[in-house]
Structure 1
């Protein structure tokens, strides 16, 4: 309907020629501009937070303060994700993004003087901020893509995939850049010194401040209202009520499509926690030492970013998403099977190359899952984007929290077996979803 209106505007008499180009050309520029700003802002914020998170288990070792604070963080993340859709609807996606950055800033600042009285409260607050910033991100990016598709008469699924590919591709570079900064500032034996870590976190705070400022330059988005789903004031009021929140959560969990996606969402959180907590500890460090963790994570981030960009470009609908997810699942399975078989290469350069290869494959899998899950939710749940992206973060953060708390009590081999089983189950569930939606010829995938 919107595309017809655009064509009529293009065919109006020359009397309105002065206004017509502005009305037609400006929105597309602002849409792509907002994606660039959003991607860069997240890169700056998370290159600092990601590196700080990677250092928790090595810097804050007294009474396991670092790992415990991360477990608390993701428990808080899980709890607040239940209410995140309501908060984002009240605040608006842009305001949620801006407020969400404050939690990451305070968490990194707490690392300047890490103790139970600074890091734990910062972790709890970050859990709240993380829940609204990620629901806000998914809602903002999807509504931006949908507006761009309508204004330019483009295929909606392709634009959603393209925008997600750019965002996740740029975002994934935070591991690469953040770890390089960490390596540069903590080299020369300063890794355990107060002076070295203080300088590192001060630099991170400066970078994050610039990222937070960038958020302010985003255009406001009205989420679903642009699509006409919540046009009346009565509907808007209902969307902000706790009753509506409960209804949204129960409807999401009673939706067969969501139930079939949840296992893959849970696995995506599990594989991220595996990389942060298990892979670096039991695979990278024994093979190439503590100094090699930064290089391995940089390889992980680089392949994650490249794969995200490529996967986003190739996404056009459910068929392409199914093929891309299959490729990502295969890449993850290869790594898990090699680790389960305890296959290794002991020689110097080849051994390092092999570890970087495994890290790269894990990055490929993560890039595929993050781009395709976000694109899929945006396509299938147009009427409740906030609720859909809240479900994404609820299940991801819950899985990550479980890993941080239980990993010390479970053997590395047991973790790999659990991951392989969940990967197989989640992939089968996803294929069932693809078959079900494909047979139903859902408008969500055909638009």
Structure 2
């Protein structure tokens, strides 16, 4: 049984790595690809697509547990993987209507996918393996930032305009990778029981059989889940942490969609601009992997306070924002960096752009690892509604950010990020102080 669970965790991580190699690379490059389309009838926007995805994702979190309860953990993930693959396929021959329909469907599929993933990971863990399994999954998932972006760099580093042929080949490859990840999900084995010494007590996370046995009618379950989330959301700690979660959603928008577009639109980078998009994604992924691995280990061994990790995340993010402000033209997110009014303050340097990418990934890992950790500590018996709120708030803020990314110049976007970075950090530190006063926790 133990070996089967270890195999399940690795298979889950590899499957998600492949799925998100396709999807993350797609999100990073799609606005640049759309701007190169020769199809004049296509009127879609990559920013609008991502805004739809995260908007639908946020709402769908309210009903995703019910869908997973009825369909089952493995088949919920397989269904979602097929939808993810369909979204990537839509770029092979872009049409506005299919593009936005796929964006809507993938928003729903994402909520189902992550609900089932969390349940399956907990099901295959116990009190002695949960940290190891979570770290293993995180590392494999973040590797998705490397491979697709490496292809973009190698193939498009000397390309100024992405041809229809190159686009089709690229997205066919991504589609095959995504379908391979979905196929791996089919090899997962159901685990019928959890270990007796498991400390995971959330009834929604025990196993799919218990899920189904205790499932109420769909409407009743949705109502019950919503009420549970609403009660938890009204607590002081969760409302404070929501500000930090909102910041994580804004940063997600910036590094996964906006920053790559900015690099590709910076004419001072010359013919290497398009290839730099892929290289930037690789450096973001390296920052994510290093930060998640190192700080997860240090905090587990009580060698590093969680507030110190957050403070480091603030420092590296503010440094990244300042570098980006200096070297990227102000109108790069919205107009292709053509106006002399928005010339960068310093001559754009590929090295500085890649350093900024690494810092974005490192800072993001600081915030996300500590948010996951603090939610697990504060709500060990309410993990399901707590993480549903986390995804709900994060996806709403990401949707809003993708919406305004169509219209705001870079300086305004960076100002918003800086403001939420400050208030999100203040909120996190306030929760830490409240909990220290309440329970005398020394290592939060």
Q: TM-score, normalised by structure 1?
A: 0.81
Cα displacement (A) at 1:429: 0.9
Q: Label 1:229 to 1:205 Cα distance change in 2 as closer, same or farther (>3 A).
A: closer
Residue in structure 1 matching 2:13, options 35, 39, 46: 39
Residue in structure 2 matching 1:82, options 53, 56, 62: 62
Residue in structure 2 matching 1:210, options 173, 180, 186: 180
1:101 touches 1:212 (CA, 8 Å); kept in 2? yes
Between the two proteins, the alignment pairs up a number of residues equal to 407
Q: Label 1:234 to 1:310 Cα distance change in 2 as closer, same or farther (>3 A).
A: closer
Cα displacement (A) at 1:283: 5.4
* CA displacement, residues 283-338 of structure 1 (integer Å, 9 cap, x when unaligned): 56425323322112211112212222222222328974333222222211222244
Residue in structure 2 matching 1:137, options 117, 125, 131: 117
SS at match of 1:117: helix
Cα displacement (A) at 1:105: 0.8
Cα displacement (A) at 1:427: 0.9
Using the alignment, how far apart are the partners of 1:214 and 1:279 within structure 2? 31
Cα displacement (A) at 1:57: 0.9
What is the alpha-carbon root mean square deviation over aligned residues? 3.2
Residue number in structure 1 paired with 2:142: 172
Matched, 1:196 2:180: no
Cα displacement (A) at 1:167: 2.1
Using the alignment, how far apart are the partners of 2:14 and 2:156 within structure 1? 25
Structure 2: unaligned runs, 5 residues or longer: 36-41, 329-343
Residue in structure 1 matching 2:93, options 103, 113, 122: 113
Residue in structure 2 matching 1:242, options 215, 222, 229: 222
2:31 touches 2:261 (CA, 8 Å); kept in 1? no
Matched, 1:409 2:407: yes
Residue number in structure 2 paired with 1:332: 317
Q: How does 1:14-53 map to 2 (within 5 A)?
A: 26-27=1-2, 29-53=3-27
2:124 touches 2:194 (CA, 8 Å); kept in 1? no
SS at match of 1:217: coil
* CA displacement, residues 95-150 of structure 1 (integer Å, 9 cap, x when unaligned): 332222122111011112211221111111101001111222233334444x1x2x
Using the alignment, how far apart are the partners of 1:338 and 1:370 within structure 2? 22
* CA displacement, residues 398-417 of structure 1 (integer Å, 9 cap, x when unaligned): 11111121123223212111
SS at match of 1:439: helix
Cα displacement (A) at 1:229: 5.0
Residue number in structure 2 paired with 1:386: 384
1:165 touches 1:310 (CA, 8 Å); kept in 2? no
Using the alignment, how far apart are the partners of 2:123 and 2:280 within structure 1? 35
1:84 touches 1:390 (CA, 8 Å); kept in 2? no
Q: Label 1:160 to 1:228 Cα distance change in 2 as closer, same or farther (>3 A).
A: closer
The more displaced of 375-384 and 267-276 is 375-384
Using the alignment, how far apart are the partners of 1:160 and 1:233 within structure 2? 20
Q: TM-score, normalised by structure 2?
A: 0.81
The more displaced of 373-382 and 173-182 is 373-382
Residue number in structure 2 paired with 1:312: 296
Using the alignment, how far apart are the partners of 1:378 and 1:219 within structure 2? 26
The more displaced of 108-117 and 334-343 is 334-343
Using the alignment, how far apart are the partners of 1:221 and 1:374 within structure 2? 24
Residue number in structure 2 paired with 1:19: none
SS at match of 1:409: coil
Using the alignment, how far apart are the partners of 1:293 and 1:324 within structure 2? 28
The more displaced of 395-404 and 67-76 is 67-76
Higher fraction of helix: 1
Matched, 1:181 2:145: no
Residue number in structure 2 paired with 1:302: 286
Q: Label 1:86 to 1:329 Cα distance change in 2 as closer, same or farther (>3 A).
A: farther
Residue in structure 2 matching 1:290, options 250, 255, 274: 274
Using the alignment, how far apart are the partners of 2:327 and 2:151 within structure 1? 32
Q: How does 1:121-132 map to 2 (within 5 A)?
A: 121-132=101-112
Cα displacement (A) at 1:339: 4.1
Using the alignment, how far apart are the partners of 2:193 and 2:403 within structure 1? 36
Residue number in structure 2 paired with 1:72: 52
Q: Label 1:368 to 1:229 Cα distance change in 2 as closer, same or farther (>3 A).
A: closer
SS at match of 2:190: coil
Cα displacement (A) at 1:377: 2.6
Residue number in structure 2 paired with 1:7: none
Cα displacement (A) at 1:361: 0.5
Using the alignment, how far apart are the partners of 1:413 and 1:388 within structure 2? 34
